[in-house]
Amino acid sequence: MVMAGFDPRHLRAYFPSLVRVTQRLHGRWCKAATARATIDLQADLMRFTVDAIAGLAFGADVNTLESDDDVIQRPSTGSSRCCGSACSLVPTWRYFSAPTIANSTAASSR
């Protein structure tokens, strides 16, 4: 399913959208240069990546580059993301071992 997004015909059709996202990044950096402001390169490239991938994979124009809101780093209120964040803080693999296939098969044959 993902590979269909990288089909040459699909990529050719997506190219104008990618150019638009690239122009937004260029505009963001030109605006910062005119104001003699520093840029957060990592954050800007993350925004570029989100905009490019969202367009290619989902056909969505999320346009995070022209937003001053920190949409990339904003915490989610969704329970699945909240649980995922909490679980990533605790290295559960150190305290709980998952059964291996060999152990599960041996246990089920007893």
Closest CA to 72 of 62, 80, 59, 85: 62
pTM of structure: 0.59
Q: What is the pLDDT at residue 26?
A: 97
Using alpha carbons, list the distances in angstroms from residue 4 to 51, 57, 89: 19, 9, 35
Structure-token pair, residue 33: 């240069």
CA 42 to mean position of chain CA atoms: 13
Ranges of the chain with pLDDT below 50: 76-87, 103-104
Q: What is the pLDDT at residue 83?
A: 47
Q: What is the pLDDT at residue 57?
A: 77
Q: What is the pLDDT at residue 109?
A: 52
